Amino acid sequence: MEWWHAVILGLIEGLTEYLPVSSTGHLLLTQRLLGIGSSESADAFAICIQLGAILAVLGLYRQRVAQMTLGVLGRDAEGRQLAFNVVAAFLPAAIIGLALEKPIKRYLFGGEEFGLWPVVAAWFVGGVAILVVGAIARRKENRGASRSLTQLTLAAAITIGLIQCIAMWPGVSRSLVTIVGGLLVGLSLTAAVEFSFLLGLVTLTAATLYDGLKHGKEMLAAFGPLPLLLGLLAAWLSATLAVKWMVGYLNRHGLAIFGYYRIVLAIVIAALILAGYFKA
């Protein structure tokens, strides 16, 4: 891997991790375009540079994280409830992810069986889901029927966590399903986005630590420490910019643009594959 490969992958990771467009799908596509073959080391690299995006959100939402920390210490009731909700939402993905890790990587992560088709399908279906659920959520907010983050119940948090498991299919997007999940359980768009970010801190940190411990040595042996550092820095910078833009944009315009983007991207990549211009 060249140093500029790492920078490009880091920028793509940071830009797409918290947007509902699928960082995994974009990274798989980028790896193909850069000529980086599918391997345990390459997969681990793509996961470990998530740390840059995690640090970006940790910095941007430090006050909310501090509130949750005080809650765990028994000094903030709302912070304690929010911390419990985040942990409860994380557990389904942790359990199911560990149980299905091998078949997911074998059949869905750009393997020889299906190539990029699972990602293309997920982009398209996810785009349609954004348009449908986003329209329903807007009508609820206009009627004043949406709930704030402090009104999220433990049962609703677990429901979001179960929905998050759908994101194990590459191309779906963890951010997409957790935001949609939040809307489906009655949260406002702003609250659903914030909960998605907070849940991502736990989910992505766990995934990074797991893959880093499991494949870290072979990843460093294959690529070296410099590409990893460059990827982390690029992901941190681009994630900081992407999250700030996304929060401001969603408050004014909603989710629809991401739905259209996913649908158009899926159609373009599918056409290129079928025409033989792009290898699945």
Separation in Å, CA 252 to CA 42, 193, 261: 38, 14, 18
Give the tens place of pLDDT for each residue, 214-238.
888 889 988 889 999 999 999 999 9
Look at residue 75 in the predicted model and tell me its pLDDT. Answer: 93
Residue 42: what pLDDT?
86
Exposure on the CB side of residue 223, measured as CA atoms within 13 A: 30
Tokens at 82, concatenated: 């929010």
Q: Are 204 and 159 in contact (CB under 8 A)?
A: no
Query: Distances in Å between the alpha carbon of 169 and those of 2, 116, 126, 135, 144?
Result: 28, 12, 11, 24, 34
Contact call for residues 166 and 172 (beta carbons, < 8 A): yes
| Out of 83-87, 126-130, 230-234, least confident range | 126-130
Q: Does 17 score more than 80 pLDDT?
A: yes
Q: What's residue 266's pLDDT?
A: 94
**What are 54's two structure tokens?**
């995690």
Judged by average pLDDT, the poorest of 79-88, 113-122, 140-149, 179-188 is: 140-149
Asked if pLDDT for residue 37 goes beyond 90, the answer is no
> pLDDT grade, residue 259 (50/70/90)?
very high
Please give the radius of gyration of the chain, using alpha carbons only, rounded to the nearest integer.
Answer: 18
The pTM of the full predicted model, rounded to 2 decimals, is: 0.85
Task: Round to whole Å and give the CA distance between 127 and 122.
Answer: 8
Query: HEC string of 63-77?
Result: HHHHHHHHHHCCCCH
Report the share of the chain in percent with pLDDT over 90: 50
Average the pLDDT over 144-153 and give the result.
82
Average pLDDT over residues 141-163: 86
